[in-house]
Structure 1
């Protein structure tokens, strides 16, 4: 029997013909064919043969390095992914080097961007060559961080910054202007993209996002989504498409959609032991009286499910008024929540601005005289405030439950302790920056740099 070399459960591979100096692979004898992460895949003809161009980001969570590869297409195969879904994948053949051994290997081109490893080494590559020791790692060859930095030094682009897309609707808004200023101040290129002027090509081999006039959007490192409520559905579809193309989106489509559905968000908060004002929801107007009693009676708050910036929020001061408003909404098939009114808050609430698991700024908002909501867009006044440790924990937990990297978390102080009002996935910057003096736009840009492991020279 041929003596086989021992290989670990994780190994470094080198692809000399494709110009990849080192890529970490998960060794998986359960998979027949090896696969590699590939984006921007394009099939073309070279003479009588089909070839394929594609890009590989060989280092996990580092999209600043993209190696352009070129290989002959040898097959198209139906492959079942780890989620159990079958999909057609392109197959190429190229030499791979593991330590001192070099041999031909078949690779399927796959989107492995969400996987821990950018490559999977299957059993076809292992057969008659290696025996796997799952308890070992890098038995063939290992690279220290200093070696990797040296190896990949020629592949770093000379540009000093990232290319960022600001996906929103109005370039003149304070928040959008500040984000552009902050990104440019740190040496990045930032482009404003109007949500409604972008469109998608859905295709397994070459998905795309295009913009007004047919320009293909394929060079962005990150997207900052600031989606207004009226375009939530389409905006989230675009964010999912960017994510499918391997672009980092500061808030995911799923997180934004959850935050915009106040009923679903409230259910998630309740499930995760996050205290909110007592909230009720019903479809039929037949039990309106019991719904009102359930939230401790009037005065109470009535909210449209997709209200934002204080719009679509009503205070009903008596049970009779509450019944009238609730039944009026239900007569036009509008979904609403009813919520207990926290009288002791005296028209005040707290906005905590969360960025990547940290409260970077907090302000107190005071409602205008005669109003019950302390929303700046409705005439409320803002001032800096020092929040308690309990309030900080509440804000961070709420953002985490919705999986939001950037969030405006609204909290109200009550006799029962701090209560969560709601979480905004596209929080405004003007009020809180002016009230606190904090450069929140810069914090958001720095969070993107950290996520992409980009070292700014600014």
Structure 2
């Protein structure tokens, strides 16, 4: 074909895939890429007769993850493709007709995770050859769509708002607790969105504060945020939570409450200040005082825990004074902050987890340590069972959550000869163990708490 007969297109153009029921997706035109690609999620293999097909979901509109097109296509090929970041990965390839302006022709299309990219589609040189030349200084030369045009094209996929818009702010969408909260919110008619803490960033501005997400997508307004924060991202996640708060979203646990609960030393001081019974606890800086520190908490055996410990990690039982001195001095030598705490032998490796929501204990379970372990922890092979707590234990759990100003909290209590003692309070308590032990739908209770706070009435 003579070059003078080739059409001129710009650096970006609207494409349509009628066979995939995608009426419009904006593509970046890239002659440096051999094969065209489109953003695809939830890719699954399906069998149709003797043929291998694939189902997948496309979010065709930039900065809008609420519009989802469900697609199916026959697998044409599998290829190793190197991304713009230099990482090679195997991708499925399909063949499908594409429409650009008035022209329709078949192209090969790889299915790729383009969530972090500005454009949902890339138009490669195989699709361009013998058809187009590119004018990089122009854009949308074949046709252009307004916002109204796009809304009209996708109106059948735009759901009317019948519930709240709630985000789960966490790191792992596949974690049991996060999936349960998402499911519970959807079941109650809310729009649920998972936001990865580490893929969001902020713009501080008095008039227009923003949170952006993967590839520059501006995060819209949320009615509520459910923080599910792992310890390693506490500082950054709390900055995000404060930003959401500034933008008018209700945060189920505030940044200040999470920060207090994660600072075990501060939390312990607050519990003691408000007359909550805790195991005798010590904290010191000088190795010269190690012997007296051990004596102060009634000697060995004793518990030594890192201030940043979670789920039983960073918690050590020192059975003798010599072992305790060695562990304490080792920690101090690397300038790690630790607490030492009396060991409650009569607890026999058991503790109680009370799940508190809005000032009420909605569920409780007893955890039994695995054989050879001293700490009750289902994450380390322990067992959980339903338990009826005493009124004293209930009051202790509620007061502990209130002192830290946590609407949602996992409060850990241990039974001793002196009565119930408070061990610690978790601001992102897991749901798997307590839902399994009690049979209660804790995720649903959490969503109900948000509805009550925002005075939302279901139809």
Q: If the length of structure 2 is used for normalisation, what is the TM-score?
A: 0.65
Q: Identify which range, 169-178 or 213-222, moves more after superposition.
A: 213-222
Q: Are 1:351 and 2:353 matched, yes or no?
A: yes
Aligned to 2:317: 315
**Secondary structure of the equivalent of 2:363?**
strand
Taking the aligned partners of 1:256 and 1:312, their CA distance within structure 2 comes to: 19
Q: 1:329-376 CA deviation, whole Å, 9 max, x = no partner? A: 000000000000000000000000001111110000000111100011
Q: How far apart, CA to CA, are the structure 2 residues paired with 1:288 and 1:250?
A: 41
In the alignment, what sits opposite 2:442? 440
CA contact 2:221–2:247 (8 Å) conserved in 1: no
SS of aligned partner of 1:362: strand
Q: Which residue in 2 is equivalent to 1:173?
A: 175
Q: Which secondary structure state, in structure 1, belongs to the residue aligned with residue 276 of structure 2?
A: coil
Which structure has more RCO (C-alpha within 8 Å, separation ≥ 6)? 1
Q: 1:9-45: CA deviations, max 9, x gaps?
A: xxxxxxxxxxxxxxxxxxxxxxxxxxxxxxxxxxxxx
Alpha-carbon distance in structure 2 between the residues aligned to 1:177 and 1:158: 24
Q: Are 1:383 and 2:402 counterparts?
A: no
Asked if the contact 2:166/2:225 (under 8 Å) is kept, the reply is yes
The structure with more radius of gyration: 2
Aligned to 1:369: 371
> Is the contact between residue 347 and residue 416 of structure 2 (CA under 8 Å) also seen in structure 1?
yes
Task: Classify the secondary structure of the residue corresponding to 1:200.
Answer: strand
The equivalent residue for 1:413 is 415
- 2:232 is matched with 230
Q: Which residue of 317, 327, 330 corresponds with 1:328?
A: 330
Alignment of 1:34-433 (within 5 A): 159-433=161-435
Deviation at 1:218, TM superposition (A): 2.6
Between the aligned partners of 2:205 and 2:393, the Cα distance in structure 1 is 46
1:456, CA displacement in angstroms? Answer: 1.7
Paired with 2:181 and 2:206, the residues of 1 have a C-alpha distance of: 33
Which stretch shows the higher mean deviation, 197-206 or 324-333? Answer: 197-206
Structure 2: how far apart are the matches of 1:408 and 1:319? Answer: 32
Alpha-carbon distance, 1:213 to partner: 1.4
State the Cα distance separating 1:206 from its structure 2 match. Answer: 1.2
Q: Deviations over 1:176-213 (max 9, x none)?
A: 11001100000001000000000000111211111111
The one-character-per-residue Cα deviations of 1:136-165 (angstroms, maximum 9, x if unpaired) are xxxxxxxxxxxxxxxxxxxxx962110000
**1:353 partner SS:** strand
SS of the residue corresponding to residue 167 of structure 1 reads strand
Q: Hey, what's the Cα distance between the residues in 1 that align with 2:221 and 2:231?
A: 27
Per the alignment, residue 80 of structure 2 pairs with none
SS at match of 2:169: strand
Q: Distance in 1 between matches of 2:243 and 2:423?
A: 31
Residue 452 of structure 1 and its aligned partner are, at CA, apart by 0.3
Quick check: 216-225 or 446-455, which moved more?
216-225
Q: Are the counterparts in 1 of residues 165 and 224 from structure 2 also a CA contact under 8 Å? A: yes
Report the TM-score, using the length of structure 1 for normalisation: 0.65
CA distance in 2, matches of 1:438, 1:298: 39
Distance 2:252 2:220 in 1: 17
Q: Is the 8 A contact 2:366 2:384 kept in 1?
A: yes
Residue 168 of structure 1: how far off its partner (Å)? 0.2
Q: Give the CA deviation at 1:219.
A: 1.9
Q: State the aligned residue count.
A: 301
The unaligned stretches of length 5 or more in structure 2 are: 1-158
CA distance in structure 2 between the aligned counterparts of 1:284 and 1:216, rounded to whole angstroms: 49
Which residue is equivalent to 1:135?
none
**DSSP 3-state at the match of 1:354:** strand
**Cα distance between partner residues in 2 of 1:423 and 1:228:** 14
Aligned equivalents of 1:327 and 1:397: distance in 2? 35
